[in-house]
Amino acid sequence: MPWTETCRVTERAAFVAAVLAGEDSMAWLCRCFGISRKTGYKWLARYRAEGVAGLADRSRAPRHCPHALDAALAAGCLSVRRRHPRWGPRKVRAWLARQAPTVAWPAASTIGALFDREGLTVARRRRSRVPPQTQPFGACAAANDVWCIDFKGWFRTGEGARCEPLTLSDAHSRYLLRCQALARPSGALAWPVLEAALREYGLPRRLRSDNGPPFASVAAGGLSPFAVLVVKAGVVPERIAPGRPQENGRHERLHLTLKQETAAPPAPSLRAQAERFRAFRRLYNEERPHEALGQRPPAAVYRPSPRAWDGVLRAPEPAADAAKRRVRHDGAIKWRGAALYISETLAGEWIGLEEADGVFIARYGPITLGQLAPDGDRLVRPKAPRRPRHTP
């Protein structure tokens, strides 16, 4: 025999029908249906007032919530989110708090729930990530300790023009010093951009880049013509390990935001794309809260370098106790009556040969070029550290 199925509304209707029949008392019928007399009178009153519709379930949600988000505050949060769709609730709250510090803005979690209700969030696919690594930025403790420079990667605008964005940022404050659209990634085009930033903001201690041209080369010391200019400006060039973009992770993360905000999709023309870069740089530096800066914009943290630059390129002086040699046009120096090849990149520059424990080490300013072989007939360059082999 199959089970008899019923629902609460059917049971309530049967109860009311039995009461209206008048054959049994209210107390008896309530016991038979397993309800209290208070509940029985409630359903009878609803039936007499509304008919069968009164027997349906009603929402138990409160009609008024004293902790509900104020409509004006919600409108302010939604307005900022719609202007900046990629800002999360914490950035939105930080921006609003700076604009109106006397207003009691809701918590970031409340703002996030508001965005969810309004359909303004998209769930992201979770990815496996490696543990964070603090090096090589452990010594980056103040503004202008390290500047980061890189080409974001080329793309074409709507009219088909090639765009190569060159970006320059301060690693400590994340301040975007330059974001310039160039036609190609060449040192001749990149140097004027860096030179203008040096004149405006002063000299950093180090300039971090990748191992590719125009910032580096396979010549001695990894020096390229661009890197030689950097050294002569009074800045130490440093490079990440090959194939390790995470060592310049702060700058790479900036590139992701730059792409999302300005090149997805690209502008119709190169001029329009350059205008997007200018607008993004202002917004990124002055308004957009940054998680790593306590939700402050980079402009609130960055200060120009106390080392002002006069625009003069000065060749570094070798150490006082070093043997000075001038690199000839063919990249060689004269050493002990013979020609010793160094690098054509350093043609016309002075290098120093410092002796330590019977070994001569060649240096160009702060850059170690290598050491002379025991017989003095060649320059032995330092070997790059090998990348650890991946083991499954």
- The per-residue pLDDT for range 303-321, each reduced to its tens digit, is 999 999 999 999 999 988 8
Q: If we measure between CA atoms, which residue out of 301, 291, 285 comes closest to residue 87?
A: 291
Enter the DSSP assignment of 219.
Answer: S
State what percent of residues in the chain have pLDDT above 70.
Answer: 92
Tell me: cis bond preceding 304? Omega within 30 of 0 counts: no
Does pLDDT of 261 surpass 80?
yes
Rounded to whole angstroms, the Cα distance separating 221 from 343 reads 9
Rounded to whole angstroms, the Cα distance separating 251 from 210 reads 11
Ranges 60-64, 175-179, 340-344, most confident: 175-179
Contact status, residue 177 vs residue 168, Cβ threshold 8 Å: yes
Does pLDDT of 302 surpass 60?
yes
Q: What angle do CA 172, 175, 176 make, to 5 degrees?
A: 130
Give the strand pairing for 350-356 and 359-364: antiparallel
pTM (predicted TM-score): 0.77
Rounded to whole angstroms, the Cα distance separating 183 from 165 reads 9
Task: State the amino acid at position 204 in one-letter form.
Answer: P
Q: If we measure between CA atoms, which residue out of 277, 362, 375, 281 comes closest to residue 326?
A: 362
Per-residue pLDDT band at 1 (split at 50, 70, 90)? very low
Does pLDDT of 245 surpass 90?
no
Token reading at 111? 């703002």
Does pLDDT of 175 surpass 90?
yes
Rounded to whole angstroms, the Cα distance separating 203 from 197 reads 9
pLDDT at 130: 46
Does pLDDT of 392 surpass 60?
no
Task: State the amino acid at position 227 in one-letter form.
Answer: A
Least confident of 34-48, 70-84, 137-151: 137-151
Q: If we measure between CA atoms, which residue out of 329, 253, 264 comes closest to residue 291?
A: 253
Token reading at 364? 């160009």
Token reading at 373? 């072989």
